Amino acid sequence: MLEQPWELNGSVAIRPEPFGALLYDFTTRRLTFLKDPRLVAVVEGLAMAPTVGEALDRAGVPAAERAGFDAALHRLAEQRMITRRTA
Amino acid sequence: MTLAPERPAATGTRLVDHFEHGLDAPICLTWELTYACNLACVHCLSSSGRRDPRELTTEECFGLIEEFESMKVFYVNIGGGEPTVRPDFWEIVDHAVAHNVGVKFSTNGFRITPERAERLARTDYVDVQVSLDGATPEVNDRVRGAGTFDAALRALRHLRDAGMQDTKLSVVCTRENIPQLDRFKEIADEHGAMLRLTRLRPAGRGAEVWNDLHPLPDQQRTIYDWLVAHGEGVLTGDSFFHLAAYGDALPGLNLCGAGRVVCLVDPVGDVYACPFAIHDRFLAGNVRGEGFGSVWRDAPLFRELRSPQTGGACTRCSAYDACRGGCMAAKFFTGLPLDGPDPECVKGNATEALAAVAGGTRPSPSQDHSHSGPVRNAPVPVTIARRPPASPCDESPVGPGRDPLTTG
Ligand code: SF4
Ligand code: SF4
């Protein structure tokens, strides 16, 4: 995943909240919470970054915390909140 | 509610801890479009029946939807009254969908014709919830009125046949229908619907029948065990977190979200902390004056609800962390202090206080739109006190199954 281009799923809306953000998928009616503002920055930055790894860099996620962010991104991918960018 | 020094924050990272301080916009917003209803259910939480001449106009409804959109309110739970009674109902739904505000609406099913069902099935972002309060006509129609069982099942069939996904079958749990939980699940399954069980709250006309209809103590246990056995396959919103005191927390929102993640906009534009709290005590403002956003953000009532609350007598209870003293509205309308046990406290800690509430001192709803004359289909009260329907929104912000929490 780290080497691939990803993006927020087109049917998902993102709303900033004091603790991070809420994501809502209009298709699956699923609600998800991002509880770290840096994760919000990563997710929002995916579409503009060539790879997921680059999005993590740009959001200033230090190497020591990568594993946690990686796991969170995988969970979001399982829920199809984020999807692999094809074009 | 009493303001009090903060309880030590449990971990500071659980979502409920964030929710306690409120969100920038509600997740569970109920919007009751009209007080008009073609039925007269005995337990109607909003005491509906007759239209109120001050109800929001079509233009005002459109404006409100646009404000919801700008606040990123993802969806609204539309109820009433019976929302489909409004002649502009479908226009309002279309406007919401066009403005990226999803619609979940509650109906008694009478107006869900095959044509409507097909149109609904073709519209993205719209979910339908059909109310049924008995798994047999005998049990259902006594509460909701003659012919309402058949109407609800007809609507479910039309929706299924039209290919509608995710219809919900919404049941308010009562003393009479708790033995029918399995049958409700079958009815839902047969129609490709999801079962949603909610709590009977003593709100609106529900207050009048609460004593006769609310679950007996052993039935509470039945509900809890049944919910544990069915896990995420059944929706409950925030209905049963007071039952968490039996053991493990149930899926759903385990906190009173009133004014924090939950609110109600009523047909005349009044904003209340919760659809089950239609009383001046919980009235935050009106959308006609300042607009919805400023009421949500700044109303003194909402600020109060978002500030740390004391659990009163409950703080000494071993189950407090899971149960949190239960439902604010249930306490209020049974005349109990807000910072004490829920009237249905499973540890029996409300029994004395309930007994001490003198007859006639319970707060009554600040408004009543009940039909004053006879209603076609009116329920034939047998043991039940008197009059009428509604459509609760306690759609869970974090409902089980559909909306599991995922956090980063
Ligand atoms: S008052 Fe009761 S129904 Fe309303 S949000 Fe709180 S717990 Fe839910
Ligand atoms: S005493 Fe309060 S916290 Fe304990 S179970 Fe009863 S309502 Fe819940």
Query: Per-residue pLDDT tens for B62-106?
Result: 999 999 999 999 999 998 788 888 999 999 999 999 999 999 998
- Please tell me the predicted confidence (pLDDT) of residue B95: 97
- Distance CA(B326)–CA(B343), nearest Å, equals 8
The shortest CB-CB distance from B408 to any of A13, A16, A39 is to A39
CB contact under 8 A, B18 and A15: no
The shortest CB-CB distance from A19 to any of B18, B74, B397 is to B18
Higher-pLDDT residue of A75 and B9 is A75
Contacts of A27 in chain B (CB under 8 A): 124
Mutational pocket test of ligand 1: of B23, B240, B254, B328, the residue with most ligand atoms within 8 Å of the beta carbon: B328
CA distance A64 to chain B (A): 16
B134 secondary structure, DSSP code:
-
- Please tell me the predicted confidence (pLDDT) of residue B60: 97
- Please tell me the predicted confidence (pLDDT) of residue B37: 82
Cis peptide before B340 (omega within 30 of 0): no
Per residue, the 3-state secondary structure of B47-70, as one string, reads CCECCCCCCCCHHHHHHHHHHHHH
CB contact under 8 A, B74 and A31: yes
- Distance CA(B309)–CA(B7), nearest Å, equals 8
pLDDT digits (tens, 9 = 90+) for B157-209: 999 999 998 899 999 999 999 999 999 999 999 999 999 999 999 888 888 88
- Please tell me the predicted confidence (pLDDT) of residue B384: 38
Q: Are B48 and B369 in contact (CB under 8 A)?
A: yes
Q: For residue B177, which of B199, B203, B155 has the smallest C-alpha distance?
A: B199
Q: Beta strands of B5-107 (E only): which ranges? A: 28-32, 75-79, 102-107
In chain B, the percentage of residues whose pLDDT exceeds 90 is: 55
Q: Which residues of B42-56 are buried (b: 16+ CB within 10 A; e: fewer)?
A: bbbbbbbbbbbeebb
B326 CA to middle of ligand 2, Å?
Answer: 7
Q: Provide the CA B378 distance to its chain's centre, in angstroms.
A: 22
CB contact under 8 A, A20 and B75: no
Write the CA distances from B329 to B103, B120, B206, B223, B346, integer angstroms: 25, 33, 12, 20, 17
pLDDT at residue A49 is higher than 60: yes
- Please tell me the predicted confidence (pLDDT) of residue B13: 54
- Please tell me the predicted confidence (pLDDT) of residue B362: 73
CB contact under 8 A, B402 and A15: no
- Please tell me the predicted confidence (pLDDT) of residue B404: 29
The shortest CB-CB distance from B408 to any of A16, A30, A72 is to A72
Contacts of A69 in chain B (CB under 8 A): 408
- Please tell me the predicted confidence (pLDDT) of residue B79: 86
Mean pLDDT across chain B: 84
Ligand at minimal distance from the CA of B330 is 1
Q: Ligand 2 pocket by C-beta < 6 Å: which residues?
A: B 242, 245, 314, 317, 319-320, 323, 325-326, 341-342, 345-347, 349
Q: What are phi and psi of A84, to 5 degrees?
A: -70, 135
Q: What are phi and psi of B3, to 5 degrees?
A: -85, 140
Q: Does A22 touch chain B (CB under 8 A)?
A: yes
Which residue on chain B is closest to A25 by alpha carbon?
B74
- Please tell me the predicted confidence (pLDDT) of residue B237: 82
Contacts of B29 in chain A (CB under 8 A): none
Which residue on chain B is closest to A38 by alpha carbon?
B408
Contacts of B21 in chain A (CB under 8 A): 18
B283 CA to middle of ligand 2, Å?
Answer: 26
- Please tell me the predicted confidence (pLDDT) of residue B250: 79
- Please tell me the predicted confidence (pLDDT) of residue A69: 94
Extract the residue ranges of chain B whose pLDDT is less than 50. Answer: 1-12, 380-408
Q: Does ligand 1 lie within 6 Å of residue B238's CB atom?
A: yes
Please tell me the pTM assigned to this model: 0.86
Contacts of A28 in chain B (CB under 8 A): 402
CB contact under 8 A, B405 and A33: yes
- Distance CA(B148)–CA(B266), nearest Å, equals 24
Average pLDDT over residues A63-69: 92
